Structure 1
Amino acid sequence: MYNRRKFIKISAAGASLAALSSSALAKASFLGQADGFPIVISTWDFGIVANKEAWKTLSSGGRAVDAVEAGVRIPEADMSNHTVGRAGYPDRDGHVTLDACIMDELGNCGSVAGMEDIAHPISVARLVMDKTPHVMLVGEGATQFAVEQGFKREKLLTPESEAAWKEWLKTAKYSPVMNIENKQHAPGNQYNHDTIGMLALDAKGNISGACTTSGMAFKMHGRVGDSPIIGAGLYVDNEVGGATSTGVGEEVIRNVGSFLVVELMRQGYSPEDACKEAVRRIIKKKPQTAKDIQVGFLAINKKGEYGAYAIQKGFSFAVCNAAKQDLLIPGKSFY
């Protein structure tokens, strides 16, 4: 059984990247070297089970965009996951509002924000991409579109989430906890919400990404973070690579974070160095704010090289390819 707190040790390749043949390159390990493809990476420890689902599509030669949609649906449906999907904690008025976006190798993208009563926002975002001339639908309009497409309208506020919200109302203090995915929590504690961002490189060498969240716990009604915003929570350029983010979305939006990471990779940065530079810019703009928040970036390039960087310690990401199915890697951090 998978242990959420067990970090699996990473083995380093013995040969240098320059000395690797093309066949060996596809088998090289982490630490800046290419893992080849297909490969899927995603944020946080719940990315392990999400990656395994995405791998079913990738290992059979399927498209990366189909893989990432299928993968992130797993945490969206997880009733024990209060940071993503149907069991997410509500806003301060008791509404569970969901955000998601998806982007394929052709530059097509779709997004929903502030959507209520629909359990799988990523699949609604996919239909916005595939079936409408728009990129983003929000609020009741997004819900209406989902229902028209055959999705079932249902109450998303679970008894456990409702109990946590009512306990929070006793003080109504908003004090997010960093890296809540790696902490035990019970009603009465202060909560943060977070995101699953997933990036996949399929057998044809094409990249796609998906990002989905229920947003900050007990946020103001109507608040939308970076997760559904193309260029902030997610960005893919099939010539270069893809990036996604997690943490306090306001700071990611202010820096157009995921787009920045991809553009830095275009300039020659490695995925990890690109993520590090994006984090550095957030800290440089607001050094006092950055000390008390978490933002992390995860990226992959066309070679299958991947990397991550965060403001604070505690961020982790999951990797799945033909060689490893359940690798959880602690991301590096500024502090």
Structure 2
Amino acid sequence: MYSPLCLLILQLLLLRHYGLGRHLKHKQSQKIHSVLVSTWNYTDANLQAWSVLKQGPRRTRQAVIQGCMACQSPRCGRLLGGHYGPDERGTLSLEAAIMDGRNQEFGAVAGMEGIRNAILVADAVLRNTHHNLLVGRGASDFARSMGYKVEHAPNHNTNKVVGSWNLGSCQPNFWRDVHPPPRTQCGPYTPLPEHLLQRPMRQEYPITQGDHDQVAFLALDSEGLFHVASHSSGARFRIRGRVGDSAVPGAGIYADNEVGGAVASGDGDVLMRHLPAFLAVEAMRAGRSPAQSAANVIQRVLKYNTEFNGAVIVVNRWGTYAAACAGLDEFNFVVSGGKGFLSMARLERVKCQERNDVVDGGPKGFFTRKPIKKGY
């Protein structure tokens, strides 16, 4: 005859066994919903990527590459279309990255001049080298060795953009603590002496229609495979040699087949410091939902950068997605597929978080002009 204590232990073991069995059965029966998500409102590019993904499983890599290539035209705005995103010397360069969710293999290029298909070169870095990131002239040399041809130099439109910027006293720019004052004059600049350092507020940039210099794509197929990719023409009038978030793993893109994936867009120099795409995936690994993960990441960024403009989109391993943003009235992104298979390339919107809801203790920024928050 069993003692009361033994009976209690037996009951607990039975409950644990059958409860775990039901949990595993539920997980096994849960269906993965293929989905293609992209930042901003570029429905044509999303639809092109989705047309590749829906051809069958194991097409995630080709899908995100197709999306990035589709955005190398004016359909994704004048900056991504080329010739409008020069650095302060008038040089055009591109950056791109791709990540495989199976093993987090990553390939990227940055500051690459004269080569149009940056995402294909980034993919070649992943597949044909033991490196993760190639930059500058080395990236261009690698691209040529892979068979990609050098294309034309900056055209008249690029020269016109840089000329107007110079006539406007080189505003905005990315310099600080230099002489002459970078807020009112062009360079060349020299460092200020230590006793004159001011640590001015960070200059933030409003997000306006057609001014997106970066786009990201996330693809999940019915077998639970993720690929994420990002393509950027670089921030306009950046200091020559600058690398943006598109080329940094965990900043603009991140994926892990066991958990999910995320893509981010916004001020790249802020994103690189906080790795929001990586943080969002790790938040899901810790048990948070996509919506909770996205919101927590934006709150963390705002805590240290109160004037941040940008967004993150998070997708779990089953295809459930959510987005969060700051600095805009709302954030637009495009989705194809997903649960229920609603209309393809559908434009979705999420209302951005109010800054007052976040601890106001981080560095503040300023705008050179009134930010435009609608119409993107």
What's the TM-score bracket when you normalise by the shorter of the two chains?
0.7 to 0.9
Q: Which moved more, 1:232-241 or 1:267-276?
A: 267-276
1:319 equivalent in alignment to 2:335: yes
Q: Which moved more, 1:256-265 or 1:325-334?
A: 325-334
How much has 1:133 moved relative to structure 2?
Answer: 0.9
How much has 1:156 moved relative to structure 2?
Answer: 5.2
Task: Answer yes or no: is the 8 Å Cα contact 1:72–1:198 preserved in 2.
Answer: yes
Q: Where does residue 243 of structure 1 map in the other structure? A: 262
1:54 equivalent in alignment to 2:69: no
How much has 1:39 moved relative to structure 2?
Answer: 1.1
Q: Where does residue 127 of structure 1 map in the other structure? A: 124
Q: 1:67 aligns with which of 56, 63, 66?
A: 63
1:117 equivalent in alignment to 2:114: yes
Q: Where does residue 279 of structure 1 map in the other structure? A: 298
1:197 match: secondary structure? strand
How much has 1:170 moved relative to structure 2?
Answer: 0.6
Q: Where does residue 178 of structure 1 map in the other structure? A: 206
Give the TM-score taking structure 2 as reference length.
Answer: 0.73
Query: Larger C-alpha radius of gyration, 1 or 2?
Result: 2
1:113 match: secondary structure? strand
Q: Where does residue 357 of structure 2 map in the other structure? A: none
Question: Aligned pair in 2 of structure 1 residues 79, 298: CA closer, same or farther (>3 Å)?
Answer: closer
Q: Which digits, 9 at most, give the CA deviation of each residue in 1:6-32, with x for residues without a partner?
A: xxxxxxxxxxxxxxx99x986xxxxxx
Q: 2:284 aligns with which of 261, 265, 281?
A: 265
Q: Where does residue 74 of structure 2 map in the other structure? A: 78
Task: Answer yes or no: is the 8 Å Cα contact 1:199–1:299 preserved in 2.
Answer: no
Q: How does 1:1-335 map to 2 (within 5 A)?
A: 36-46=32-42, 48-61=43-56, 62-78=58-74, 81-84=77-80, 86-106=82-102, 107-155=104-152, 157-171=154-168, 172-174=170-172, 177-180=205-208, 182=209, 193-287=212-306, 290=307, 293-313=308-328, 314-321=330-337, 322-335=341-354
How much has 1:85 moved relative to structure 2?
Answer: 5.4
Question: Aligned pair in 2 of structure 1 residues 161, 80: CA closer, same or farther (>3 Å)?
Answer: farther
Question: Aligned pair in 2 of structure 1 residues 268, 158: CA closer, same or farther (>3 Å)?
Answer: farther
Task: Answer yes or no: is the 8 Å Cα contact 2:77–2:212 preserved in 1.
Answer: no
How much has 1:315 moved relative to structure 2?
Answer: 2.1
How much has 1:271 moved relative to structure 2?
Answer: 1.6
Distance 1:248 1:281 in 2: 15
Where do 5+ consecutive residues of structure 1 fail to align?
1-20, 27-35, 184-191
Task: Answer yes or no: is the 8 Å Cα contact 1:85–1:121 preserved in 2.
Answer: no
What is the letter of the counterpart of residue 207 of structure 1? F
Q: Where does residue 367 of structure 2 map in the other structure? A: none
Q: Where does residue 374 of structure 2 map in the other structure? A: none
How much has 1:176 moved relative to structure 2?
Answer: 5.8
Distance 1:145 1:285 in 2: 38
Task: Answer yes or no: is the 8 Å Cα contact 2:324–2:352 preserved in 1.
Answer: yes
Distance 1:245 1:59 in 2: 24
What is the letter of the counterpart of residue 206 of structure 2? M
Q: Which digits, 9 at most, give the CA deviation of each residue in 1:138-158, with x for residues without a partner?
A: 000001111111111012534
Q: Where does residue 16 of structure 1 map in the other structure? A: none
Task: Answer yes or no: is the 8 Å Cα contact 1:85–1:213 preserved in 2.
Answer: no
Q: Which digits, 9 at most, give the CA deviation of each residue in 1:87-111, with x for residues without a partner?
A: 4410111011111100113222100
Q: Which digits, 9 at most, give the CA deviation of each residue in 1:175-226, with x for residues without a partner?
A: 764222x36xxxxxxxx54311110101222111001111111111111121
Distance 1:224 1:129 in 2: 18
Q: Which moved more, 1:68-77 or 1:137-146?
A: 68-77
Distance 2:271 2:204 in 1: 16
Deviating runs (4+, > 6 A) in structure 1?
A: none
The alignment's C-alpha RMSD in Å is 2.1
Distance 1:221 1:131 in 2: 27
